[in-house]
Amino acid sequence: AKKGNGPSSFLIFTEEMGAKAQQTLTMQHRLRRALENEEFVSYFQPQIETRSGRIVGMEALVRWISPEHGLIPPGAFIDVAEEFGLIDTMCEQVLRDACRWNKRWQDLGLAHVPVAVNISGRQFHNSRQLLTMVDTVLRDFDMPPQYLELELTESSAMSDPENAINVVRLLTERGISCAIDDFGTGYSSLSVLKRFPIGKLKIDRSFVNEVTTDPGDAAIVCAMIAMANALDLKVVAEGVETQDQLNFLHGVGCDQIQGFLMSRPLPGEAMEAMFQTRPPMPMPV
């Protein structure tokens, strides 16, 4: 059938809509079952101090280990989980897994570094539930709050800044630090940013990608780092894939880096092996 203004285009439209809706519905059912079976785990990506190559933190990234479909990355299900109110339960599974591993590495004397967990905007909206969940999990694992960091994307921080500032303050009072994720993609008001009691900015990887080839991106990254330093925030560059990017970022004073150049996100067992063997990390030259 041809697309146009006639009734046939309406038909195509509804068929496509129907197929999409059916897909979403199927995904929703699969997600609910996976949550019941606790199929969500945390993978870990190390965060490296740029000048020393030391591991100074790690980010927990959700992975769905499906018995039928294998490993599924978050891009395939986060939106549906948010839309159908399943994100809290999913996040709790990730947070528990992240804290369980982190506590284990502390107890084994392998690593005493914080783990950063991603929190969706919706959860910041439901702040009471978020705080209760975090308190409960930290208590269950007897984990000191300074070993937990929460990441909030710039866009969700800025969509309801008054509420987000308040939640970040409540978390900070508990000893949990917060980071703004995907910085540069979310239209920050700098006067609002200044009021967030955060400890860290994470430069979105879309800027890091071409930092050595696009002078515009290089200038933006420099400005973000200068601003972070002036506001006394740590700054992490995400998505560092090449030695040239590492060299550049070191040269302009970026404290920490995270990316495939150092390590892909790893299952807990592989992260533990990395703490045991301490492979040399790429260093700036």
Tell me which residues touch Mg ion (CB under 5 A): 118, 151, 181-182, 238
CA of 271: how far to CAs of 151, 234, 264, 284, in Å? 20, 24, 10, 23
Cβ proximity of 125 and 88 under 8 Å: no
Give 58's strand partners: 46, 115
Residue 62 found at the interface with ligand C2E (CB under 6 A) = yes
Q: Which stretch binds ligand C2E (CB under 6 A): 31-39, 74-82, 223-231, 276-284?
A: 74-82
- Pull the structure tokens for residue 227: 């601003």
| φ/ψ of residue 149, rounded to 5 | -125, 145
Tokens 């921080």, located at residue? 157
One residue of 50, 102, 120, 156 binding ligand C2E per CB under 6 A: 120
Q: Which stretch binds ligand C2E (CB under 6 A): 10-18, 165-173, 244-252, 259-267?
A: 259-267
Residue 61 found at the interface with ligand C2E (CB under 6 A) = yes
**Residue 234: which H helix or E strand, with range?**
strand 234-238
| Nearer Cβ to ligand C2E (231/241) | 241
**Which of Mg ion, ligand C2E, none interacts with 239 (beta carbon under 5 to 8 A by kind)?**
ligand C2E
Residue 259 found at the interface with ligand C2E (CB under 6 A) = yes
Residue 260 found at the interface with ligand C2E (CB under 6 A) = yes
| φ/ψ of residue 182, rounded to 5 | 55, 40
CA distance 64 to 70: 8
| Nearer Cβ to Mg ion (138/178) | 178
Cβ proximity of 156 and 127 under 8 Å: no
Q: Which stretch binds ligand C2E (CB under 6 A): 128-136, 228-236, 239-247, 275-283?
A: 239-247
**Which of ligand C2E, Mg ion, none interacts with 61 (beta carbon under 5 to 8 A by kind)?**
ligand C2E
CA distance 26 to 124: 27
Q: How far is the CB of 33 from Mg ion (least distance, A)?
A: 26
Of the candidates 188, 184, 195, 203, the one whose C-alpha atom is nearest the C-alpha of residue 245 is: 203
CA distance 114 to 61: 14
| Nearer Cβ to ligand C2E (238/255) | 238
Q: Which stretch binds ligand C2E (CB under 6 A): 28-36, 159-167, 223-231, 257-265?
A: 257-265
Residue 118 found at the interface with ligand C2E (CB under 6 A) = yes
Task: Summarize as ranges the residues that interact with ligand C2E (CB under 6 A).
Answer: 45, 61-62, 73-75, 78, 91, 94, 118, 120, 151, 181-182, 205, 238-241, 258-260, 265
